[in-house]
Amino acid sequence: MNLAVALPILLPLLLGALSLLAHRRLRLQRWLGVLGTGALLAAALWLLRCVAREGVVVLHMGDWQAPFGITLAADLLGASMAVLTGLLGLATAVYSLATTPRGHEQYGHWPLLHLLLAGVTGAFLTGDIFNLYVWFEVMLVASFALLTLGGERAQMEGAIKYVALNLLSSMIFLSALGITYGLFGTLNMADLAAKVAAADQPGLLSVLAAMYMVAFGIKAGAFPLFFWLPASYHTPPVAVSALFAGLLSKVGVYSLYRVFTLIFTHDVGYTHEILLWAAGLTMLTGVLGALAQTEIRRIVSFQIISSIGYMLMGLALFTPLALAGGMLYIGQDIVVKITLFLVAGIAFRLLGSYRLEALGGLYRYRPLLGVLFLIPALSLAGLPPLSGFIAKLAVVRGAIEEASWGITFVALLTGLLTLYSIIRIWQQAFWRELPAHATDTGVLRGERRDPGLWLMYLPVAVLAGLILLVGVYAQPFFGLAEAAAGQLLDPQAYIDAVLGEARP
């Protein structure tokens, strides 16, 4: 059923419009937010089921056949990413009920949330590279606005860096699109893949590939252009931060996966070698940055960058195992990062600070929160039996099989340093005694009840359970990642599905 691929885009767009119409009625907007993101999750799951059964699902919008019209196409990677988007949207929406300040809701928190989700699913499901640019911009405009709601000084400063670097990347992307159209006369990704394979201009192609790499690399937060990410992601309210941390940079990684498996495979020795170097440096700088920080959200922001390195490593090695591991890493990292941010939000609710020196005693008074922190945190460090272990194992085994000892060493070293940076948070915020100067600990000690707290615990508990599930019962998830890697490495099925009878 072809509607399945349009629904995850149309649904959040419509919900965003309806929440905008209902901007005076906050209760209605909240209901639309929770039910709408739930519906998005259901629609994405339906799409994934269709893709798993029938192969690549294609929809030619407005009945304009490829390569002339805009085509939506979902393979296993795109559909799984859409499912994760729905899951994260739902978790964020529930968490927002308890944490988003009223003023933010009045100034459009909910419509922007839906618009952001529409942009993200659009980017995952489109089969047209110019359309990818359009969805990128939809997503960025929504995220700019979400980032600045509230108008505090830190938000403004973070937003200027975010806007400037992301616009720069968009313009590099647009220039690359112009050159692509000039060279090949098409912007449909499947058609482009066929034409690039037949082209005989390796030098020009490599320049073009490098432009896409820089554009998506900035959006993904890869070395060396990542500094906008830790400067801005921690400034908005925690639910929004969590959504950004989970989703936004992964859209850049997804685009790299799409473009560098489908289109630019003409000179893997050159392009993917650059990606491998970027991957190693991204991992290392990310984790070293995390070690230098003393604020939970900023530590996790740098850890986002470090994880991007592992995902790029999977792509750069370009073997079935490494690609599958890289994709599993993307999937599980989305869940891990959002959970960490949401736990940090609960700690803030209990103690009123994100700074490590002001935190303490959380394990003593809230042992459950301690467990809910340890599950994503140890998964981030790659300890069994959690999802991060499985993904990291696959990526590193991919590297060993390719005899890439340098990147293997960097990956393992980064894992060790990650563990150290996680233990720092654990030791200071959870394990040690409550600092003597901490005020307002009534909620923490259980003397005062906080009615919204269970709404914050609920999504965290579900997501932590998911991390555990993927770690313990990994076979179906790894099987899905392997199947998705198979599709990426053999793009002919994707190309045939998109172009259909239009093929010459």
Partner 1 sequence: MMQPGSLILSTMTRLLLPLQLLFSVFMLLRGHDLPGGGFIAGLVASAGFILYLFAFGVAATQALLRIDPREIAGAGLTLAVLSALPALLYGDPVFTAQWWHPSLPLIGEIKLSSPLLFDIGVYLTVIGSMLTIVISLAEAEE
Partner 2 sequence: MEPLMAVLVGITFATAVYMMLRRSIVKLIIGLTLLSNAANLLFFTASGLTRGAPPIIPEGAEQPAGAVADPLPQALILTAIVISFGVLAFALVLIRKAYQVVQADDLDQMKDTDT
Residues interacting with partner 1, by CB under 8 A? Answer: 2-3, 6, 10, 13-14, 16-24, 59-63, 108, 111
| Closest approach of partner 1 to the CB of residue 465, in Å | 35
- Stretch of 77-85, 177-185, 249-257, 438-446 contacting partner 2, by CB under 8 A: 177-185
Q: Which is nearer to partner 1, 111 or 217 (CB)?
A: 111
Exactly one of 3, 35, 179, 207 binds partner 2 (CB under 8 A); that residue is 179
If binding is defined by CB under 8 A, does position 187 make contact with partner 2? yes
Q: Which is nearer to partner 2, 90 or 172 (CB)?
A: 172
| Closest approach of partner 2 to the CB of residue 398, in Å | 35
CB 324 within 8 A of CB 257: no
Q: Which one, of 99, 73, 64, lies nearest residue 4 by Cα?
A: 73
Q: What is the DSSP letter of 500?
A: G
If binding is defined by CB under 8 A, does position 227 make contact with partner 2? yes
Integer Cα distance of 84 and 250 in angstroms: 11
Outline where 221-247 has alpha helix (H).
Answer: 228-232, 238-243
If binding is defined by CB under 8 A, does position 207 make contact with partner 2? no
Q: Which is nearer to partner 1, 18 or 214 (CB)?
A: 18
Q: Which is nearer to partner 1, 119 or 398 (CB)?
A: 119
92: left (phi over 0), alpha (psi -120 to 50) or beta: alpha
Reduce the DSSP state of residue 58 to 3 states and report it. strand
Whole-angstrom CA distances from 33 to 13, 19, 338, 459 are 12, 8, 18, 15
- Stretch of 162-170, 249-257, 408-416, 484-492 contacting partner 2, by CB under 8 A: 162-170
Q: Which is nearer to partner 1, 68 or 454 (CB)?
A: 68
Q: Which is nearer to partner 2, 121 or 155 (CB)?
A: 155
Integer Cα distance of 98 and 239 in angstroms: 10
| Closest approach of partner 2 to the CB of residue 319, in Å | 35
Exactly one of 151, 384, 406, 442 binds partner 2 (CB under 8 A); that residue is 151
Tokens, residue 258: 């799409």
Reduce the DSSP state of residue 72 to 3 states and report it. strand
CB 119 within 8 A of CB 138: yes
The helix (run of H) or strand (run of E) holding residue 59 is: strand 57-60
Integer Cα distance of 500 and 504 in angstroms: 10
Q: Which is nearer to partner 1, 132 or 407 (CB)?
A: 132
Tokens, residue 114: 């839906």
Integer Cα distance of 296 and 294 in angstroms: 7
Give me the residues that bind partner 2 (CB under 8 A), please. 130, 133-134, 137, 140-141, 144-145, 148, 151-154, 156-161, 163-164, 167-168, 170-172, 174-175, 177-179, 181-183, 187, 227, 231-232, 234-235
